[in-house]
């Protein structure tokens, strides 16, 4: 009887192998051969699912981003607008091992983008998603009276985005930079500061 292969599960396994190689050795090392070695399969077997490194990168990026978005959508947000913003924004910060690995993947891809249009498109995609999320949070807080009316909403969205990126970068490079409690306290202080003129 022929062996039944779960192709979706195999693709996910290969995506994890690509992710592991990229985080450990950089994206240049995540070639078809390098990922096949990590996944303990032949390059031909990997090419059956992903004919090129670009296709493997696309699948991995989509898989990781989809997981992050699903996690955010599953949140049970508190009624308090400030508390809801805190919980929502924490999802983009590396406060646990899973989110730390995601942040490291984002920054590895970003630092390797160079003139690679495919990688640049992925970086722009994530930037747009984060910017949109920050903008929505600021508008909701403003409608709830949490943001001082004198503050420019667009400027505050950019400032919030920069804060999240900066903290995520520090943690991705040196996870011991801050504790999860310190990061949460800094984010809360940033949000509370929005009420000030």
Task: Identify the pLDDT of residue 184.
Answer: 96
**In the chain, what percentage of residues exceed pLDDT 90?**
51
Task: Identify the pLDDT of residue 129.
Answer: 93
Token pair belonging to 92 = 């983009």
User: Whose CA is closest to 10, among 66, 54, 59?
Assistant: 59
Q: 41-83, pLDDT tens digit by residue?
A: 999 988 999 888 888 888 888 888 888 889 989 999 999 999 9
Task: Identify the pLDDT of residue 149.
Answer: 92
Q: Are 174 and 76 in contact (CB under 8 A)?
A: no
Give the chain's domains with CATH numbers.
Answer: 1-74 (1.10.10.60), 78-197 (1.10.357.10)
Q: How far apart are CA 112 and CA 106, in angstroms?
A: 10
Q: 135-166, pLDDT tens digit by residue?
A: 999 999 999 999 999 999 999 999 999 999 99
Query: Of residues 138 and 106, which shows the higher confidence score?
Result: 138
Q: Over 90: is that where the pLDDT of 2 sits?
A: no
**In the chain, what percentage of residues exceed pLDDT 70?**
97
CA distances, 62 to each of 80, 106, 145, 190 (Å) = 32, 12, 36, 30
User: Whose CA is closest to 9, among 54, 39, 43?
Assistant: 39
Task: Identify the pLDDT of residue 5.
Answer: 66
pLDDT band at 98 (very low <50, low <70, confident <90, very high): confident
């Amino acid at each position: 009887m022929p062996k039944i292969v779960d192709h979706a599960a195999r693709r996910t396994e290969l995506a994890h192998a690509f992710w592991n190689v990229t985080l450990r050795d950089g994206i240049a090392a995540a070639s078809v051969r390098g990922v096949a070695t990590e996944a303990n399969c032949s390059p031909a077997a990997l090419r059956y699912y992903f004919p090129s490194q670009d296709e493997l990168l696309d699948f991995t990026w989509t898989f990781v981003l989809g997981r992050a978005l699903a996690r955010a959508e599953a949140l049970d947000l508190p009624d308090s607008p400030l508390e809801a913003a805190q919980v929502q924004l924490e999802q983009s910060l590396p406060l646990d091992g899973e989110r730390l690995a995601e942040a490291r993947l984002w920054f590895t891809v970003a630092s390797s983008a160079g003139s690679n249009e495919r990688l640049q498109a992925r970086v722009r995609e994530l930037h747009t998603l984060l910017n949109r999320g920050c903008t929505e949070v600021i508008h909701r807080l403003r409608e709830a009276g949490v943001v001082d009316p004198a503050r420019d909403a667009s400027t505050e969205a950019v400032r919030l985005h920069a804060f999240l990126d900066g903290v995520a970068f520090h943690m991705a490079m040196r996870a011991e930079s801050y504790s999860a409690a310190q990061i949460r306290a800094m984010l809360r202080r940033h949000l509370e500061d929005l009420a000030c003129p």
